Amino acid sequence: MRKNVLKLMMTALLMAMAPCVNAQIEVGYILCEGDTLVSPSDFDSLNLAPLGVVFYVDNSGEHGSVVALQDDGLFSWGGYGTDTQLDNFTRRGSAADDLDGYNNTKTILEEDAYYPAFQAVDFQSGWYLPAAGQLKCLYKNLKEVDKSIEKVGGKTIRHMGLTYWSSTEYSEINAWYMSSIGGLDYSSDGYNDNKDGYRFVRSVRNF
């Protein structure tokens, strides 16, 4: 009996000492292979391949969004002169209300046209082009996110002059983007520009 009690006590102690994996998730946590989410402090001890960094967590503390560790490349948005099936957001405030990058990307990929920024993402694996509101959330948490990206050897987002496309449409001519030095930050501005312009793409996905 005593041996069983000691065994239970040791098990409880080991569990308490184990790294916190897939528990209460926070911004800056690291998404690893096998869809495992770990804290930055536990990452080094687990020997897992990193895939992205958490930039948004919902009220449950269990679900949210992660951003990829690298850019997908430099692309035009595509479809210049074509008003797509997406809703048009013609005011900065309303553009930041668009949080559905997944369905934006799905809708565009189903169109019979070439949209380079959307086709650059690995949608089959769950990655998509973030909506303007998601980029706003990412920028709000950029300090913590970039810290984790740097820790795992990725490319940080806050580089002078880099701009990132969102999946949010302004009109048949323009789409919204985020600047790492200003646009669509949580305090004010967003920017829209010609869909034929070249900007970076950085995928996000849900967990």
Whether the per-residue pLDDT at 9 is higher than 70: the answer is: no
Q: Give me the residue spans of the domains in the chain.
A: 2-206
Report the distance separating Cα 125 and Cα 127, nearest Å.
6
Q: Which residues on adjacent β-strands are paired with residue 74? A: 200
pLDDT at 62 over 70: yes
Express as a percent the part of the chain with pLDDT over 90: 70
Could you report the per-residue pLDDT of 64-89, keeping only the tens digit for each?
999 999 999 999 999 999 989 999 99
